[in-house]
Amino acid sequence: MTPPHPDPLARARLLTSPSVSPAVVHELERITGRPAGPPDALAPPDRPFVYVGDTLPEELRTPRLLWFHSVNAGTDALLAAGPWPEGALLTRTVGRMGERIAQYTLTWILAECQSVPEHAAQHSRSEWRRLPSELAAGQTAVVHGTGRVGSAVAGLLRACSVRTVGVGRSPRAVPEGFDRVVPAGSEAERAALAEARWVVSTLPLTGATEHFFDDARFSAMRGATFVNVGRGATVDMAALETALHGGSVRRAVLDVLPDEPAGPADRAWRLPRTVITSHSAGITADEDVVSDFESCWQAVAEGRTPALAVDTRRGY
């Protein structure tokens, strides 16, 4: 995660993916003080380059790549596509994603507390019947992932007087927004899952988190609602289906799935008491790309590793 040396950065070409909007390209040119070119504008052949985009084409995975800034928050697909060029910096766009995902999570939690899905179903049947409601305050949410997004989710829930328990892999001080943090795989995590009214996943996809939510974790729950706003492949979908049928998971709200987009034949559409929202909880806006690239550019120009740098060995 060492930033590029200022000398090669000063003479580097700026290349952008066709997926980057003209408005963003204009801002990138302003920030870097140089014109942007398409991915095939690599001449002269010995000149280093900085690339901004959603994917990294194979022909750009060369020693001349100084830095790739992803317009997305997740980088698992980038790293899974092949060996990362040695020495190349990888940064990502987060922007206000934590805030957006936190609001999404709170929306579904409050909707459940106020029986919104049931009221909507009654309306469709022209049926008048009182339905129960519950308070979110005083209940427990277990949030897996204690980084930027997880902390934002926990902070908003805590503002509604929900007790927040974070689950993390590495020992660390309790991040803002959490009442406490327990280690993944510990008895403390298992006890927290048994107590939880809601279990929220904000986990990235790495070798360590694939199928993280398995039979053991779902069986530890006692009627919690499961919300996944991280990555789809962190969930063993067969284990989730078993838990929904068995009752250890009360409901599921899935913004992400292992295979996207989900076709009509995908079994996920037929899971009981489940809502799928088509990967829309934290859509990245143009202003997020610009603001995060600018902060990274400033850090690199000063010889610092950006806060949004990705450890390509760990995957996040």
Tokens of 119: 């009221």
64, 222, 279, 294: which one is catalytic? 279
69, 217, 231, 251: which one is catalytic? 231
- Of 290, 286, 281, 309, nearest to 105 by C-alpha is 281
Is position 231 annotated as part of the catalytic site?
yes
Tokens of 313: 């060995």
- Asked if 50 and 32 count as a contact pair (C-beta separation under 8 A), the reply is yes
- Helix (H) or strand (E) holding 152, with range, is helix 148-159
Any idea how long the chain is?
A: 316
- Of 305, 96, 304, 92, nearest to 204 by C-alpha is 92
Distance CA 162, CA 158 (A): 5
Distance CA 115, CA 277 (A): 18
180, 260, 267, 304: which one is catalytic? 260
CB atoms within 10 A of CB 303: 12
Give the CA distances from residue 209 to residues 68, 80, 92, 205, in Å, rounded to whole numbers and listed in that order.
24, 14, 19, 6
- Asked if 13 and 28 count as a contact pair (C-beta separation under 8 A), the reply is no
- Of 151, 198, 159, nearest to 177 by C-alpha is 151
Burial status of residue 252 (CB atoms within 10 A of its CB: 0-12, 13-18, 19 or more): buried
Catalytic residues: 231, 260, 279
